[in-house]
Structure 1
Amino acid sequence: MAKDFLFNHFNHENCDESGVLFNEQRKRDFLYDSLFEERDAGDNEKEFIAENPDFNHKVLSSTTRCLAKGKYPKAMLSKRRAIALDKSSVKKKLSLPCSCAKNCQKQFSVQEILYWRQRIHCIPAGEERIKKLAEMIQLCAITIRKYERDSLYRINQKLCCRHFFTETVLGISIPTLTRAKRAIQENRHDLNVRTPRVGTNGVRGRVCEGFIAAYMNAACDRDPTGNIFRMPAGLTKLDLHSLYQTIHKDGIGKSKFYNILDSKYRNLVFCKNQRFTKCTDCHNFRCLIEKEQDTQIKSDYIAMRNLHLKEQQMEREAYYVRRGQAEMRPKEILSLIIDGMDQNKTDLPHYCKWSNPSGAGQQKLRTHITGSIVHGRGKYFFIDHGQIPHDTNLSLSCLMKILSNESHNGILPPTLYVQLDNTARENKNKYFLGMMAYLVKHDFVKEVYMSFLLVGHTHEDVDQCFSKISQKLKEKDALTMPNLEALIFNSQTPQPHVSKVNTVWNISGWLEPFINQVHNITFPKMYR
């Protein structure tokens, strides 16, 4: 009788054979097993309740009620399911030795196996069954891999091998288990079992990602395409992790740090050699660190190099702050950057796909482009043919034209930020300083800030504009000067101001009688 079997399982203070307390769900499952396996034709629901008046019959599910009444659901009308849920077949399976050396069959009883089998085989074959099987695998598997033969599973706090879990506990085939694992990996089902998050490192991981992103934006040279960030030459992943550890003492380990770099910052490139203008200090520090054998002296060199990189990082960050202020407060601040483009790329005539045209050996027309970005306002490009010297007069003439164009009724914002290339020939000299003093003296602006990045670390946003011109030159020919002007005009978004420079003002000669000699001008990074 079913009731005898039921109460044999619900004695001993509501514990199963393994000593685990029954909850309501497990009581229902055992009732289900018992009524299914030990059902007698004379047992129906009314007889069961009449014989057991103290039993709460509400815990029985609808399927269990059908089984108690002697009615099998359509899902049970399967020979395969009948064999899988047959107690004698389970006993036969447990009597056979396990293929592994763990003797998994000795750890489990028939009732435990039936409990797990009925959760699978009472469901019709299809998506619902695969979903349920995937839930059970996620619940029991220690590791989930598609074709892992040596994987282990935990059943009621007991470990068993894959073969025992598949053939005996669940009563399914290996291909069925593989399909369920594939469903987990492809994430085809919205599983109810909550799986642990993969690929995250918690708060410390997010702090590490923020550190890498901030260092990329502040210390790296951005590729002209804008998608690649190049670390200072000679700086390795280990050096970057050391910098991270100096700031975050309880940060993540080196392996996790490398994983974050490889997975989330694939556009970060570590260079052995400087691709753009080389920094003398970086090169010297690199040579000293590579040659030094003494660990103490080597650590001192590394600390000195880190100070140098920190300095150039702070200069970049200050430039970004000034640029952002000008974009947010255009009526109060005017910020711009001026630089020159490599003239070899724009020699005329230029052929993009014809490598050896007729007359290729003849002298080409040398052209030079001076570019400027007025942050939040627009871009300017000035073209000359080398007929004028590329000195302070050219830079100041371009600057005066920009200020004239950006003024409203002759009035400029009270604060002017000028970011310049760190070269004494064109920008960092007494004539440029004298002209800025003249603007303040005659109340064109209230104050002027002249800023310079470190030599070898001056690759900034204006160079990305030059890169767009280079990309256009790879796609289109520029045979004449109007062709080059149109190409520059169409390469930028928004469209820039493009003009030819035929003459420049002799500002240096005009200011010479009024300027005193300035000494040690190369060391400061900002003038006000």
Structure 2
Amino acid sequence: MYGSSPLQQEPCSPALSPIHHLASSSGRLESDTSKSLNDVFAFNEPDTPYSPVILSPRNQHQEDDDASSKSSTASEATQNFSDSDMESTYSDNLDSSYFTEPQVRPKPLNTNTKGEEKRSKLLSRAIHSSALRKVAALEPCCKKKCSDGYSRSTIKDKRTDYFSAPSRNEWIKQKLGSFQVGSDKRAFQFKVNGSEVCREAWCRIYGINKNTYYRELNNFRMGLEWAGLRQGRSLSSKCISISVWFGHYVAIHGDKMPHKEEIWLPYNTRKVDIFNKYAEDCEDRSEPYCCLQSFLNMWKTFYPHVAIKKCSLFTKCTICVRLGRDLAKTRDPVKRRKIKLKRQEHDARQMAERLAYYQRREAARQEPDKYLSLIIDGMDQAKTYLPHFVGDKSKDLTTADLMKVHVSGIISHGHGLRATYVDFFEYSHDSNLTLNLLLKLLAKLSTGSQLPPILFIQADNCYRENKNKFMLAFLDLLVHKRIFREIQLSFLMVGHTHEDIDQMFSRVADKLRHQEAHTPEQLINMMPECSRLRGLYNIRDWLKPSVSMIKGQSQPGQFRFRLSKDDPDSVDMFYRKGQGQDWKKLKTGMFKRSKESGKPIRPKGIPKIIPVSFDNRNINAQKLINEQLPKWAPYLGCDQEHYMWEQHLKQMVKAGSSAIEMAKYSKVGTMWALPKLPKYPEESVDEEPAVPDDLRRLLEKEQENPEITVSGASAAAPRTTTRRARRRLVD
């Protein structure tokens, strides 16, 4: 089945340390102006941007030796390219995507009635007749007998003022401030109804006990403010520092959920471990850090949308699951430390892949005329059944009675475009679906404008749709036709693929939780830039006769395509497992070669239109009309919606009645856009250089590495005297 051009992994060089990557990436300057964009062989994307891989060189070499023993035949078809052999496609240090913005939780209204109940009980106890009789029975407060001149009704009113205050502590401090004499906070003139009284009489009339008075007096003298007055104070430097640190941590380790506006940290992560990591980083920088409680308060206040996975609702990484289970089973501290180190190494590798995607995405946002960054994925089918109803579901209306709908999405980061496409399972969800989506979007972006010369594609690890030889061959064809100078296809690690496109789907899912969609038109109106997916071409079968028989293409995580240096009619494909590894070259290329000329054989003409097939997708439109539509009728909004469904299903029945009708249905929306895509413009050579020669020489001199030399003879040779010196010696 497969030929002799395997794509297998060869030993790779040890990954660089995180400090090395940060230093090299931040210190890398802009490429020289003399290097034009025409130099497509100068890859400008850093091969290891911010790759904090923790593997030691010894362990890495050991793993390399194991890998080399399994791939003995790969050296014939591949060629390694180290990071130094391939320059980067862009060198800007872009980091605005590596931070998760805090979301301050709004303080809820105080609906707790416990405080009101407590104040009510204290007030009723203080103004009770027995309490007022005790005041009259007490011994005189002082020689002047200040408290004897006030009746029970006056005392009752004063105690009502005190015990009804929202904060009795603050009430006492305000009174002390008004009674203060001078600025030393030691002399006070206590007054009741404008008359001066002693301190004991004032406390007796208002019902303030001795301990409460002296505690608040001490706080007043020390300048301590009540917590209610400190809500608007500015944040401390430690709080700001930990908030920024945690934002970077969440951006690297968190997964954006596709079904809700939340970010989940990995399962089995403990908050105290995150705090310890923060404390270690601060100690390494010799900076002060806050306590654990302040860290938890910051998390609760500024990052309420960040949570730790209690269980996974989606497919999880096998390595993460097994390491987590092993960690939960053992209590040996040595084994737990080793397992944690392995998990840290695994997290560092997936973090490097995620940061590389963020860098490519940010490059497209900063320079949309130079880079095009796309991410492609599909939405969870369980959320898009039609008709969609909100609230309680009737027992006679199950999921099997509804119609399946599939939603595909593409995001173009540089253009700010979020496009979605809806299909009713008329087509197989394979490489044809992905290639047609890509072609439709490229045609849309090229309308009235030029496509950027460098394309970045981020996709899911599904081999059926994305990670297959037909996808790779089509990208090879785009570079051969000069539509792009360079194309990079990247995949995140399995189990760590939730990204911004899943966040887009989560907003749609949130709408569906609160809003009903009875018809396909209503569902389409809820999607961003949504349209029906119609008129697909069979690109897979069009490419199949010309594609080389390769294997192992599901293992690498990154692919690169660009024109060959030696043969302008050939396209070189490079691949590697992930960040920090050497690029390998597939010498044979993605297309078969002619025996006579040795040139690649690429497909010609136009591929055939894919005929829709409802039978293969288990969609019986006639059954939907006869059995399911009557069940939907009581839940639909109006007769118009019932009529729209009836017409839609009748079109599907008519399309499946004969080959002619099916051909008519399949041709709707067809347009072979590949020949219409514009080629990237060749840069014109300007006779007058952009940088003058004198300035260019200064720039070159600035980059020259100086050399220090020793003039004359060697240090060990004796010193010779001149003729004049010898003459003086004779004289």
TM-score, normalization by structure 1? 0.61
Asked if the contact 1:234/1:273 (under 8 Å) is kept, the reply is no
| 1:372 paired to 2:410 | yes
Partner of 2:383: 345
- What is the deviation of 1:453? 1.4
| Contact 2:259–2:510, Cα closer than 8 Å, also in 1 | no
2:282 paired residue number: 248
Partner SS, residue 386 of structure 1: coil
Could you tell me whether the CA contact under 8 Å between 2:456 and 2:489 is conserved in 1? yes
Q: Secondary structure of the residue that 2:411 maps to in structure 1? A: strand
1:202 deviates by 3.8
Tell me the SS of whatever aligns to 2:338. Answer: helix
Residue equivalent to 1:237: 271
Secondary structure in structure 1 of the residue aligned to 2:487: strand
Q: Does 2:443 correspond to 1:411? A: no
Question: May I ask how many residue pairs the two structures share in their alignment?
Answer: 370
The one-letter code of the counterpart of 2:541 is: G
For the 8 Å contact 1:347–1:366, the answer to whether it is kept is yes
Cα offset, 1:132, TM superposition: 6.0
Q: AA paired with 2:316?
A: K
* % identical aligned pairs: 29
| Separation of aligned partners in 2, 1:329 and 1:239 | 39
Offset of residue 327 of structure 1: 1.7
Structure 1 pair 437–136 and aligned structure 2 pair: CA distance change class (3 A): farther
2:427 alignment partner, SS class:
coil
Q: Is residue 328 of structure 2 the alignment partner of residue 287 of structure 1?
A: no
Q: Which moved more, 1:343-352 or 1:178-187?
A: 178-187
1:274 corresponding residue in structure 2: 312
Corresponding position: 1:501 with 2:539 = no
The within-5 A match list for 1:369-518 is 369-375=407-413, 376-409=415-448, 411-488=450-527, 492=528, 496=529, 498-518=530-550
Contact 1:411 1:444 in 2 (8 A): no
What RMSD, in angstroms, separates the aligned Cα atoms of the two structures? 3.9
What CA distance in whole angstroms lies between the structure 1 residues aligned with 2:182 and 2:559? 70
Q: In the TM superposition, what are the counterparts of 1:136-285 in structure 2 within 5 Å?
A: 173=203, 184-185=225-226, 202-203=237-238, 205-224=239-258, 227-249=261-283, 250=286, 252=289, 253-285=291-323
Write the letter of the residue equivalent to 1:504: L
Given residue 275 of structure 1, which amino acid in structure 2 is its aligned partner? L
* TM superposition shift of 1:313: 2.1
Q: Deviations over 1:431-490 (max 9, x none)?
A: 1111111111111011111121122221112112222222222333323222222232xx
If asked which structure has higher relative contact order (CA below 8 Å, sep 6+), I would say: 2
Q: Please say which structure displays the higher CA radius of gyration.
A: 1
Distance 1:130 1:275, change over 3 A: farther
The alignment partner of 2:549 has SS state of: coil
Alignment match, 2:364: 326
Shift of residue 508 of structure 1? 2.0
Is the Cα contact below 8 Å between 2:261 and 2:506 reproduced in 1? Answer: no
Distance 1:133 1:483, change over 3 A: same
1:164-199: per-residue Cα shift (whole Å, max 9, x none)? xxx9999964868569969942666xxxxxx9x989
Please identify which structure carries the higher helix content: 1
Q: Output the CA distance in 2 between the equivalents of 1:263 and 1:230.
A: 17
Kindly indicate whether the alpha-carbon contact (under 8 Å) linking 1:404 and 1:410 is maintained by their aligned counterparts in 2. Answer: no
Q: Could you tell me whether the CA contact under 8 Å between 1:419 and 1:451 is conserved in 2? A: yes
Q: Tell whether the 8 Å contact from 2:260 to 2:506 is kept in structure 1 after alignment.
A: no
Whole-Å Cα distance in 2 between the matches of residues 136 and 356 of structure 1? 76
Residue 337 of structure 2 is matched in structure 1 by 299
Cα 1:342–1:127 change in 2 (3 A) is closer
Q: Residue 415 and residue 172 in structure 1: after superposition, are their counterparts in 2 closer, same or farther (change >3 A)? A: farther
Query: Contact 1:372/1:462 (CA < 8 Å) preserved in 2?
Result: yes
Unaligned 5+ residue runs, structure 1? 1-88, 93-125, 141-154, 156-166, 189-194
Q: Would the aligned equivalents of 2:260 and 2:510 in 1 still touch at CA under 8 Å?
A: no
CA spacing shift, 1:168–1:417, aligned 2, 3 Å? farther
SS of the residue aligned with 1:448? strand
Call closer, same or farther: CA 1:134–1:366 in 2, change over 3 Å.
farther
SS of structure 1 residue aligned to 2:401: coil
Q: Deviations over 1:360-410 (max 9, x none)?
A: 576322110101111133111111111211111101110110011001457
Return closer, same or farther for 1:198/1:466 CA change in 2, 3 Å cut-off.
closer
Indicate how the Cα distance of structure 1 residues 425 and 503 shifts in structure 2: closer, same or farther if over 3 A, else same.
Answer: same
Aligned 1:22-61 pairs, distance under 5 A: none
